Amino acid sequence: MRPVPLALVASAALAGLGIAGCYDRNDAKPKAAPQPQAAAVLGGVDLGKPVRALGTEPFWGVEITPDALVYTRVDQPTQRAPNRGATVQGTVATFASSTNLNQALNVVLIATECSDGMSDRTYPLTARVEIGADTLTGCAAPAALLTARPAP
């Protein structure tokens, strides 16, 4: 076996020190969390605040809060799903999740005026709810607006 020249060993050691010298301790520090984005507004409705979608025949409702989507229907158990946020494309916002009863839940809000067909109330949004094999249509508005002004 041939001995390795001392100059080669020394230059390899210096190269290793040069690489180690490039390490920046700031790279290991956690980065600041991104600033929260402003909630989307659709048809004048702030989707970051509670919104209620509802329909008739059958009577159903979906409460959309910052944390959850809560689906209710007179002939079925209440189902809850995490609110993962809305995907907004133009005049359409879609909330996609899965309920505690393992059903896919998609709530689509469209920025078009809507009437529930049973009252004289006009809602700022049209709603479509897909849950399991069912597709339901109705209307939506800020929850505060619905509790402040009961239907005639």
pLDDT along the chain (152 residues), means of 10: 56 53 54 59 94 93 97 94 95 97 97 87 96 95 79 47
Alpha-helix residue ranges (DSSP H) falling in the chain: 6-20, 143-148
Report the alpha-carbon angle 61-108-152, nearest 5: 40
The CA distance from 103 to 37, in Å, is: 29
CB 141 within 8 A of CB 124: yes
What is the predicted pLDDT for the residue at 117?
A: 78
What pTM, to 2 d.p., does this model score?
Answer: 0.72
The two beta strands, 45-46 and 41-42, are: antiparallel
Q: What are phi and psi for residue 68, nearest 5 degrees?
A: -150, 160
What is the predicted pLDDT for the residue at 152?
A: 44
